Amino acid sequence: MPRIHNGSASIVAVALACAAPLALLASVNSLVPARTGGFGEMTCHQCHSNNPLNDPAGRLTLAGVPASYTPGQRYLITVSVAHPQLVRAGFQLSTRFESGDNAGMFHPPDDRTEAVPDDAGRIIYMQHTPAGTEVPTPGTGQWTFEWTAPAGDLPIAFHLAANAANGDGLPRGDFIYTATAISVGGP
């Protein structure tokens, strides 16, 4: 990361810092909200941009989303991202009505995931924690958690972005994937 310091050699560093203020602040330890790709959001690819989106050598799956949901019921959701070069991994998921309002509630079962509101406190994002970026076996990252369906019967959009990362501790050389699912209301 370029740092701003005194001296004539700092002009390049200052220029870089101005070009990428978000990248300087954000990291795996403090994942920025609203990078799922849904509702006009950017994705992780904003910073992890070396490789094209959805590289065919890897795969992202979102399992457990009910085709139609029952209000108040808890569903077990599993996010899996795989790539031959994956050494660390992360994700971010949102659940919204078509209006853009948050739909339902996430329940992080352990220290590998957390549910974090956006700056306005309107949307809750389910995402990896720093501990949750560690993978037991290279090649696949996986997270399981519960989601409680909201009241009502309007369709809900799931927007997911994930990073199959190469473990270099930088946003470089990582593979970003996106996926979506829809759950409709009523039986």
Residues that bind ligand HEC (CB under 6 A): 22-23, 26-29, 31-32, 35, 44, 46-48, 88-92, 133, 161-163, 165-171, 174
As measured in angstroms, the least distance from the Cβ of 69 to ligand HEC is 24
Nearer to ligand HEC, 98 or 168 (CB): 168
As measured in angstroms, the least distance from the Cβ of 28 to ligand HEC is 4
Nearer to ligand HEC, 69 or 125 (CB): 125
Cβ atoms 63, 82 nearer than 8 A:
no
CB contact set of 7 (below 8 Å; sequence gap of 6+): none
As measured in angstroms, the least distance from the Cβ of 88 to ligand HEC is 5
Cβ atoms 139, 148 nearer than 8 A:
no
Nearer to ligand HEC, 65 or 81 (CB): 81
Nearer to ligand HEC, 68 or 80 (CB): 80
Of residues 140, 141, 124, the one with CA closest to residue 132: 141
Residue with the two structure tokens 């990362």: 165
Nearer to ligand HEC, 27 or 68 (CB): 27
Residue with the two structure tokens 């949102």: 94
As measured in angstroms, the least distance from the Cβ of 24 to ligand HEC is 8
As measured in angstroms, the least distance from the Cβ of 154 to ligand HEC is 25
Cβ atoms 83, 139 nearer than 8 A:
yes
CB contact set of 1 (below 8 Å; sequence gap of 6+): 24
